[in-house]
Amino acid sequence: MATNKTPHIWRGTTPMLSATIKGNVDLTNITTAWLTIAQDNIIVLDKKTEDLTISGNKVFIRLSQEDTLSLKSGVSSYIQLRLLTDGELAYASQCDFVSVERIIKDGVIE
């Protein structure tokens, strides 16, 4: 299973992340999915099935401002997608580096 790399996430924004699933993974049978972002080997974001949208061979997730503000800029950050089918087959993408970019004014934009 392969995913598209997400090279940059700016803190305080609402990016749409996407992954293209390659290979013989039947996404219509996914029962559980996780998108995890870890910084310095500590899980900071762990989005679950209800937060993800699956369409064709793609998985999408929109991060909230609060999600991206929970990330620190300048820290080693990695992202990974994991899937489980109703047939109990488990898949995982490679752990991809993601660059978390700083913003000048912190906080949620209202």
Give me the residues paired with residue 83 across strands: 33, 91
Within 10 angstroms of residue 9's Cβ, the number of other Cβ atoms is 21
Number of domains in the chain: 1
Instruction: Report yes or no: 47 and 32 within 8 Å, Cβ to Cβ.
Output: no
List alpha helices for the chain, DSSP H.
65-69
Please tell me the pTM assigned to this model: 0.87
Element (H, E) at 41: none
- The reported pLDDT for the residue numbered 100 is 95
Does a structural domain hold residue 109? no
CATH number, domain at 29? 2.60.40.10
In this predicted model, what pLDDT tens digit does every residue of 22-37 receive, in sequence order?
888 888 888 999 999 9
Does a structural domain hold residue 106? no
Within 10 angstroms of residue 12's Cβ, the number of other Cβ atoms is 19
Report which DSSP code applies to 63: P
Domain that holds residue 60: 8-101
In this predicted model, what pLDDT tens digit does every residue of 5-20 receive, in sequence order?
557 899 999 999 988 8
